[in-house]
């Protein structure tokens, strides 16, 4: 009465009954339940050779693997899952397999009991004695499942059991939509009082719908009868839409939502599957499955029935997996499969796509690297090269073994003679946007060098000239005081007197000129710069 689509699926036949409740809170819950039920229906026969329990467990594990493959090929189905509760009859033994929170009840020898245990969080709390069953009914996490089939990391852990079958005993398989509304005592009373299994199904579904039905309802009632009774189940598949929602009476051996309002729900589920046209769709054609189903009496309901009607069978589409799934579903020989699939167009393997994509990526990478390297070669920077200021092209970086710079020109400016701040800048590299800017920076550095090494000598002092002849005053001597205590007017700032003073060979040309002229010109020494 609430759900927008039906996530339940069920099948009831002569030897097999299974109920699956897709996880409605996740995308693809209907796909998960339909796929699982359709993967199990081929077990509905009596030729298991005493291995019915093993076959049932193995096929549920295989169904889980197919769900994982569906998720890998269709990421939009990530998170989907389903419960499974199944009974398989062989001779006089019923094999049971269960995972999730769908349930199996048995009415035998006047005793009605729940056979399965819910794999839920609250059931674990009950088992540990932390809460009571009454508390579990109102627990905020009562719907959290601990075990399911589908898109989960762990391998599914099934509860497996077997029971001796007796004529007249009844079993009830149901999704949790029934238990969400009807308490167990009401379910038990209905199973006891119903004159036949058709009436039991109708009563349980109708009471659940009348109670509000917050979840999908699927009910299957099974009765053990004599093998000679051939009139228990219909010999043909009922219309899928009728099995999924519309009916004027329940079919023995299965249960289905039967309120007229559920017709819209069935149609919504059908439309939902059709709209998932990009899902792994018709790996095995729906008409082939329907033809196989017509060979045995059965009832198919819910999303599984709608999938066969719309043709959207949720099987993975790789061709090798198609054949494996077909064998599992249909139990056909390789010759039969070839005949059924011969008109399917072969899948073209576009093996060139991956190499072409990788080649394109390689070309793009080479182009980006080439452009980047070309750009770096338009840059310049100033740095230290063997204690000389030098101009480099490129950037001061390396990419693996590749150096992104080259020496352009080395100047004659000693880095060690620069002021401390400029020396630090050069050793840390000075970037330049062009060669002209690099030359300008070098010129600035040369000016800084002159300012340091070519400062004028302070007036009133003389240059050192140890080789000066004539016994004149030494460098740095002051004017000799006269008798009156004042400076000797004949003394010059250069440290020699009169025109007879001779120039020392060790003195600079400018100093000699100053001495010769008798003027007070300061002494300048710019040796070593190459710019005197």
Q: Which tokens belong to 454?
A: 């070519």
- The residues, any chain, with a CB within 8 Å of residue 379's CB and separated by 6 or more, are 393, 394, 395, 431, 432, 433
Residues 331 and 401 in one domain: no
Residue 465 domain-assigned (yes or no): no
Residue 492 domain-assigned (yes or no): no
Residues 323 and 282 in one domain: yes
Residue 353 domain-assigned (yes or no): no
Quote the domain boundaries for residue 445.
Answer: 378-453
Total structural domains within the chain: 2
Residue 474 domain-assigned (yes or no): no
Residues 286 and 427 in one domain: no
Residues 338 and 384 in one domain: no
Residues 298 and 441 in one domain: no
CATH of the domain at 246: 3.60.40.10
Residues 255 and 399 in one domain: no
Mean pLDDT for 211-224 is: 93
Task: Looking at mean pLDDT, say which of 180-194, 259-273, 382-396, 500-514 comes out highest.
Answer: 180-194
185 or 262, greater pLDDT: 185
Q: Helices 52-73 and 29-40 meet at what angle, rounded to 10?
A: 140
Residues 445 and 296 in one domain: no
Alpha-carbon gap, residue 12 to 221, rounded angstroms: 9
- Of 453, 487, 514, which residue constitutes the final position of a domain? 453
> For all residues of the chain together, what is the average pLDDT?
73
Lowest mean pLDDT among 57-71, 95-109, 267-281, 516-530: 267-281
**pLDDT 10s digits, 95-134:** 999 999 999 999 999 999 999 999 999 889 988 899 888 8
Q: Which tokens belong to 456?
A: 């004028």
Residue 339 confidence class, pLDDT cut points 50, 70, 90? low
Residues 175 and 251 in one domain: yes
Find tokens 């917050």 and name the residue: 214
Residues 315 and 418 in one domain: no
Neighbour order of strands in the sheet with 159-164: 159-164, 93-99, 84-90, 16-21, 8-13, 298-302
Residue 59 domain-assigned (yes or no): yes
Residue 509 confidence class, pLDDT cut points 50, 70, 90? very low
Residues 178 and 282 in one domain: yes
Q: Which tokens belong to 154?
A: 């762990």
Residue 413 domain-assigned (yes or no): yes
- Of 294, 329, 347, which residue constitutes the final position of a domain? 347
Residues 306 and 420 in one domain: no
Residue 531 domain-assigned (yes or no): no
Find tokens 């391998």 and name the residue: 155
How far lies 336's CA from each of 273, 331, 457, 519, in Å?
A: 28, 10, 113, 124
- Of 347, 366, 388, which residue constitutes the final position of a domain? 347
Is it the case that residue 456 has pLDDT exceeding 80?
Answer: no
pLDDT of residue 191: 96
Alpha-carbon gap, residue 392 to 388, rounded angstroms: 12
Residue 202 domain-assigned (yes or no): yes
Is it the case that residue 512 has pLDDT exceeding 70?
Answer: no
**pLDDT 10s digits, 315-336:** 544 444 444 444 444 444 445 5
Residues 202 and 301 in one domain: yes
């Amino acid at each position: 009465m609430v759900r927008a689509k039906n996530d339940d699926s069920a099948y009831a036949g002569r030897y097999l009954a299974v109920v699956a409740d897709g996880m409605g809170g996740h995308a693809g819950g209907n796909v998960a339940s339909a796929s699982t039920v359709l993967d199990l229906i081929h077990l509905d026969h009596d030729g298991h050779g005493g291995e019915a329990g093993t076959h049932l467990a193995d096929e549920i594990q295989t169904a889980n693997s197919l769900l994982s493959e569906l998720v890998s090929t269709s990421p939009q189905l990530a998170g989907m899952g389903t419960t499974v509760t199944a009974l398989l009859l062989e001779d006089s033994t019923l094999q049971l397999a269960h995972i999730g929170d769908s349930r199996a009840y048995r009415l035998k020898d006047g005793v009605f009991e729940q056979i399965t245990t819910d794999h839920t969080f609250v059931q674990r709390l009950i088992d540990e004695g932390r809460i009571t069953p009454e508390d579990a009914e109102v627990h905020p996490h009562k719907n959290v499942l601990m075990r399911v089939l589908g898109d989960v990391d762990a391998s599914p852990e099934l509860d497996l059991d077997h029971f001796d079958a007796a004529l007249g005993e009844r079993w009830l398989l149901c999704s949790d939509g029934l238990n969400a509304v009807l308490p167990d005592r009401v379910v038990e009373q209905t199973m006891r009082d119903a004159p036949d299994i058709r009436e039991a199904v109708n009563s349980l579904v109708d009471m659940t719908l009348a109670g509000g039905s917050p979840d999908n309802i699927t009910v299957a009632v099974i009765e053990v009868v004599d093998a000679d009774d051939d009139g228990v189940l219909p010999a043909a598949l009922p219309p899928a839409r009728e099995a999924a929602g519309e009916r004027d009476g329940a079919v023995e051996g299965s249960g289905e939502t039967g309120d007229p309002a559920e017709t819209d729900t069935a149609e919504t589920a059908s439309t939902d599957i059709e709209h998932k046209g990009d899902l792994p769709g018709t790996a095995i054609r729906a008409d082939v499955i329907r033809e196989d189903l017509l060979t045995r009496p059965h009832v198919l309901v819910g999303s599984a029935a709608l999938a066969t009607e719309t043709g959207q069978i949720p099987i993975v589409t790789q061709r090798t997996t198609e054949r494996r799934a077909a064998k599992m579903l249909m139990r056909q020989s390789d010759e039969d499969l070839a005949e059924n699939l011969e008109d399917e167009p072969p899948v073209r393997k576009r093996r060139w796509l991956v190499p072409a994509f990788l080649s394109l990526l390689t070309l793009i990478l080479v182009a980006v690297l080439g452009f980047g390297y070309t750009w770096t070669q338009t840059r310049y920077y100033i740095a230290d090269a063997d204690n000389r200021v030098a101009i480099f092209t490129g950037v001061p970086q390396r990419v693996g073994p590749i150096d992104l710079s080259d020496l352009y020109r080395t100047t004659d400016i000693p880095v060690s003679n620069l002021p401390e701040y400029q020396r630090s800048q050069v050793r840390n590299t000075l970037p330049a946007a062009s060669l002209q800017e690099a030359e300008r920076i070098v010129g600035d550095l040369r000016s800084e060098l002159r300012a340091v090494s070519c400062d004028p000598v302070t007036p009133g002092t003389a240059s050192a000239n140890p080789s000066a002849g004539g016994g004149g005053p030494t460098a740095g001597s002051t004017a000799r005081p006269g008798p009156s205590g004042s400076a000797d007017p004949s003394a010059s700032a250069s440290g020699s007197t009169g025109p007879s003073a001779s120039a020392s060979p060790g003195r600079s040309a400018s100093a000699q000129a100053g001495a010769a002229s008798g003027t007070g010109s300061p002494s300048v020494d710019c040796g070593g710069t190459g710019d005197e």
